[in-house]
Amino acid sequence: APAAPRQAAVEQARHRLRQFDVGDKFSRLPLPRAAVLLPLMVRGGRLHLLLTVRSMQLRRSPGEVCFPGGKREATDKDDIDTALREAKEEVGLQPEKVEVICRLMPGVDKMNNLVTPVVGFIEDTFQATPNPDEVSEVFVVPLEYFVKPLNYKTFSYKTSSGYLTQVHCFIYDDQEHKRSFKIWGLTAHFAVFLALVIFGERPTFEVDYDLDNLISSSENNFINLYTSVCERKKSNL
């Protein structure tokens, strides 16, 4: 593939993503921490996102689609360290092969971990070697699918802390694997936000953001979610 279209796609994405970098702004929040890597690559001049399917033998969410990632360990310096270490353990991606661009607005998972998405570029030639204890499959989806899906539905979901949110659910028909993957929950939430940031255009479905003020509205959403988690914790004490 010619270097020029790849360069152009990467440059434009880099520029947009850096405006949304939260750095370690939320690193002092008193929740257990986790991080995921959102690995971007360019194929045929278009941005694609690498995703994994969790092994069926895992206790939590077996068989579900997610990004490489997991809980922070004592040896990790920061969220970036966590995401890169987990990606290496899960799919054999070497940390030095990732060009880390930014950290986006975090989310809170079902276990009330604060999950930070770390965005990085990887080579389109990367060959994943999934660790079968953790990952059963690896596949890629055009990033554009998360703003212009062919098969999409949404449902309202009340978190354990009582926060009402819209859950995105995408069905992606993968030609390479000759099967469909269901991408939903926090994974879909991060993929949608990433696509909104990079493309800067309106999706074909409703989102919980003010698209003209994406930075401030995503921060407000997160603060509301975080506040509801804290209130819930207080009421449980």
pLDDT digits (tens, 9 = 90+) for 126-141: 999 999 999 999 999 9
- Walk along the chain (237 residues) and give the pLDDT tens digit of each residue: 556 778 888 999 999 999 999 999 998 999 999 999 999 999 999 999 999 999 988 888 888 999 999 999 999 999 999 999 999 999 999 999 999 999 999 999 988 999 999 999 999 999 999 999 999 999 999 999 999 999 999 998 887 777 888 899 999 999 988 999 999 999 999 999 999 999 999 999 999 999 999 999 999 999 999 998 888 777 775
Backbone angles phi, psi at 63, to 5 degrees: 75, 0
* Burial group, residue 115, by CB count within 10 angstroms (0-12, 13-18, 19+): buried
Please give the pLDDT value at position 119: 98
| Angle at alpha carbon of residue 206, lines to 202 and 211, rounded to 5° | 45
User: Percent of the chain having pLDDT more than 90?
Assistant: 79
Please give the pLDDT value at position 2: 55
Whether pTM exceeds 0.75: yes
Q: Which domain holds residue 86?
A: 2-235
Please give the pLDDT value at position 157: 85
What is the Cα–Cα distance from 6 to 44, expressed in whole angstroms?
Answer: 8
List of residues 6+ apart from 73 with CB closer than 8 A: 82, 85
Helix or strand or coil: residue 226?
A: helix
The number of domains in the chain is 1
Which of 85, 83, 127 minimizes the C-alpha distance to 103? 83
Complete edge-to-edge strand list for the sheet that includes strand 164-174: 152-158, 164-174, 179-184
Helix or strand or coil: residue 121?
A: strand
What is the Cα–Cα distance from 45 to 42, expressed in whole angstroms?
Answer: 6
Please give the pLDDT value at position 237: 59
CATH code, domain with 42: 3.90.79.10
At position 177, the amino acid (one-letter code) is H
Tell me the Ramachandran region of residue 65: left when phi exceeds 0, alpha when psi lies from -120 to 50, beta otherwise: beta
**Residue corresponding to tokens 């770390």:** 118
Q: Which helix (H) or strand (E) holds 187?
A: helix 185-199
Helix or strand or coil: residue 190?
A: helix
Please give the pLDDT value at position 19: 96
Please give the pLDDT value at position 6: 81
* Burial group, residue 195, by CB count within 10 angstroms (0-12, 13-18, 19+): buried
Please give the pLDDT value at position 48: 97
Which of 212, 177, 170, 171 minimizes the C-alpha distance to 192? 170
pLDDT tens, residue by residue, 103-128: 999 999 988 999 999 999 999 999 99
